[in-house]
Amino acid sequence: MKVLAQAGTITGKVTIKSTGEPLSHASVFLSNATFGTSTAADGTFALYNVKPGQYELVVTSLGYEDYLQTIVVGKNPITIKAEVVPKVTQLREVMITSGGSWKRNYEQFLKDFIGDTPDGKLCKIINPKDLNLLNHKTKKYLEGYSYDFLDIDNYAIGYKLRILLKEFKSDNLNHIISWTGKVLYQELPGTAAQKAKWAARREEIYYGSAMQFYRSLIHNTMDKDGFVIRILQRKPNLQRPSEELIQQKLDKFKAAGNRDSVMFWAKLEELPKYDEHLIRQPLKVDNVLHPTQMPGIYAMAFPGCLYVVYTKKKETFDFKDLYRPLDMENFETSIITLYNDYVLFDDNGVVVSPGNTLYEGNWSLSKVAQLLPVDYLPEGVKN
């Protein structure tokens, strides 16, 4: 049995750099976790019983630049001296739209950010007008950010999320959704029955997730946890034009009413994007996991793409472009593509080099409605 690691303590003080004066009522939290507080009148704060691991500590206050510091929590207390500076006003593009246009943009945002699922339907954004959404119709993407914290009540899994959304982009051409921001989790109040239901749904989301997979790599428990990894080799399908060209042609011929040309380009659109080959021999943990010189940080690297199968759940979604050999059982499957030579992740099973990975398949379905805090552990599981 693994022993529960000793929880840590973080204390500190937030001051204004130019004057040295304390800053009261500033929000202090660990991004993507359930630990947060506000500074007292003298600028001090404290966070107790923090699960060991790497976190990004965030200090935010109206009129000041966010203060960010990466910390590694262990058995020894951590003391923070945070100095904040006045925020420099940056001009950002603001789109003035009619009510109908904003509603359409917001509906797409909800679908792509929160998720168009039963979980997503149980989420409510309390302050949607704090969003700025820009729809670039010719380039086929929606982008946005929030002026302040987005407050989201998630009654699917029992969390209130406060998200400082720095950047959101939904690329409808390449079907890629990405966002960056800082997130604070708080438990929603509920009855004993509600809390039991939330706990069960959290566990259901966790098992088979990317978070569990990375933790399985660290603890070398892939076999027990039900993960099998292989290499997927890909090369572009030379018979298929680029997605951008296909969409340009479809838009052009649809507008012109040229039915034959629309059908021609629609058939090209149906062609697979890649010629793919799956190497059937499963990989071992040490084939992909590598140590780093940073405490609590791990690197994962592999040639081609990583084909991750979770053998404890059957796939319920029909992925049009997901490669699956006909003789393979229909288990949940995800594909990881690296944009760099490796990806870094921490003891909590969280990627700390954002923008380095692309998920396809099952993990691509996870939106904010299924987002768990980095300090989450299923009931009865020891760290």
Map out the domains of the chain with their CATH numbers: 8-84 (2.60.40.1120), 99-204 (no CATH), 210-237+272-365 (no CATH), 238-271 (no CATH)
Contact status, residue 337 vs residue 313, Cβ threshold 8 Å: no
What percentage of residues in the chain have a pLDDT greater than 90?
Answer: 76
Per-residue pLDDT at 382: 62
pLDDT tens-digit profile of 26-69?
A: 999 999 999 999 999 999 999 999 988 889 999 999 889 999 99
Does residue 362 register a pLDDT over 70? yes
Task: Judge whether residue 88 has pLDDT over 70.
Answer: no
Per the listing, tokens 């996991």 go with: 289
Best CA proximity match to 66, nearest among 82, 52, 49? 82
Give the pLDDT confidence of 281-312 residue by residue, as tens digits.
Answer: 999 999 999 999 988 889 999 999 999 999 99
Interatomic CA distance for residues 359 and 340, integer angstroms: 14
Q: Do 24 and 43 form a contact (C-beta atoms < 8 A)?
A: yes
Edge to edge, the sheet with strand 331-338 lists 274-278, 227-236, 305-314, 331-338, 357-361
Its pTM stands at 0.85
Is residue 76 predicted with pLDDT exceeding 60?
A: yes
For 247-277, the pLDDT digits (tens) are 999 999 999 999 999 999 999 999 999 999 9
**Average of per-residue pLDDT across 128-148:** 89
Q: Number of C-alpha atoms within 13 angstroms, CB side, residue 52? A: 14
Q: How confident is the model at residue 2 (pLDDT cuts 50, 70, 90)?
A: very low
Does position 100 have pLDDT exceeding 70, yes or no? no
